[in-house]
Structure 1
Amino acid sequence: MMPLDDTDRAILRALARDATQSAGALGRRLGLSQPATWRRIKRLQDAGVIKARKLDLDADKLGFGVTVFLGVKLATKGRVSLEDFERAVTAIPEVQTVEHVLGLYDYRLRVVARDIADFERVLRRRIMTLPGAGDVEANVLLTEERRPGPL
């Protein structure tokens, strides 16, 4: 674990709010020079603390009005490897996240679709045909009040 000081934490909080801001603008807000800010950001990236800067798209405005969380239990754990399932499920463009979890289900998926009929198509033709797919439980997202933020 990399030791972080208050300035590092301030940089991370600021970038979590808006990852597009320049090192110069961020430095001015924090009372640092542009080169000093850039060096700190680079150090955080090199250490793997900052993994990536991502674009946050509005799925609804792009025509994906339905988000569904699926719990997937593998039917034949011995015959199908977890890697086969993971490789196949990550190839489905509507699947936004794949999480291997402990509990009732083996995997938790976040799936986007244009509408419920489109989700049903994705479920029947893509999810249920995955190698080893067994029981599936769907939970439709109604609203999302808080998105994951900085740690």
Structure 2
Amino acid sequence: MPDRTDHRILRHLMADPQAPNAVLAQRAGVAPASLWRRLEKLRETGVIAAIQNRIDWRKLGYEVQVSLRFTLDKTSPRAFDEFMAAAREVPEVTEIQTFLGSVDLRLSVIARDMAHWQQIYRDRILTLPHVSDSDALMLVSTIKDSGELAL
């Protein structure tokens, strides 16, 4: 179980994931060798799953972001598997999540503009299998986008 020192390291790591280990060690108040051992243990135990670079899709020309919620027709035992396999094939789908409740799945989709969104929707989204109901939410602005939690 991570201790207070691990939590302190994780706080500094979340605040600046690109920080060199020497800087991170100094900020967390531990020796560089101790930091390295602790980071390795946090990775081995799965506390740190990955260090990722995030792409700002808007800066690459993708101005439209849509969250699509789907309820599937579950009369087919393979409905979830077939839907997810088809959704994975849509290049503009950046995220697929499953839920319990009235919504079964959610897709995050990006598009360059409204014309591109309309093409993706008509050609790829409407052809996804086993859909009994769907709802689209277009992103207007992001107020908070953080995986951080007080440790």
TM (norm. structure 2) is 0.90
Is 1:116 paired with 2:114?
Answer: yes
The equivalent of 2:46 in structure 1 is: 48
Alignment partners' CA distance in 2, 1:129 and 1:48: 37
The equivalent of 2:22 in structure 1 is: 24
Given that 1:80 and 1:132 are in contact with CA atoms closer than 8 Å, whether structure 2 keeps it comes out as: no
Alignment partners' CA distance in 2, 1:141 and 1:40: 39
Given that 2:97 and 2:107 are in contact with CA atoms closer than 8 Å, whether structure 1 keeps it comes out as: yes
The equivalent of 1:33 in structure 2 is: 31
The one-letter code sitting in structure 2 at the alignment partner of 1:101 is: F
Q: Percent identity?
A: 36
Alignment partners' CA distance in 2, 1:46 and 1:74: 37
Q: 1:4 and 1:93, CA in 2 relative to 1: closer, same or farther beyond 3 A?
A: same
Please, which runs of 5 or more residues in structure 1 have no aligned partner?
A: none
Alignment partners' CA distance in 2, 1:117 and 1:104: 30
Given that 2:68 and 2:108 are in contact with CA atoms closer than 8 Å, whether structure 1 keeps it comes out as: yes
Question: What is the CA distance between 1:76 and its match in structure 2?
Answer: 4.6
Q: Please, which moves more after superposition, 137-146 or 76-85?
A: 76-85
Describe the SS at the equivalent of 2:134: strand
The equivalent of 1:137 in structure 2 is: 135
Question: What is the CA distance between 1:111 and its match in structure 2?
Answer: 0.9
The equivalent of 1:125 in structure 2 is: 123
Please, which runs of 5 or more residues in structure 2 have no aligned partner?
A: none
Coordinate RMSD, CA, aligned: 1.5
The one-letter code sitting in structure 1 at the alignment partner of 2:109 is: V
Question: What is the CA distance between 1:140 and its match in structure 2?
Answer: 0.5
Question: What is the CA distance between 1:93 and its match in structure 2?
Answer: 1.9
Q: Please, which moves more after superposition, 105-114 or 85-94?
A: 85-94
Alignment partners' CA distance in 1, 2:40 and 2:112: 39
Describe the SS at the equivalent of 1:134: strand
Summarize the alignment of residues 8-23 of structure 1 with structure 2, pairs less than 5 Å apart: 8-23=6-21
Describe the SS at the equivalent of 1:144: coil
Describe the SS at the equivalent of 1:136: strand
Q: 1:11 and 1:135, CA in 2 relative to 1: closer, same or farther beyond 3 A?
A: same
Describe the SS at the equivalent of 2:107: strand
TM (norm. structure 1) is 0.90
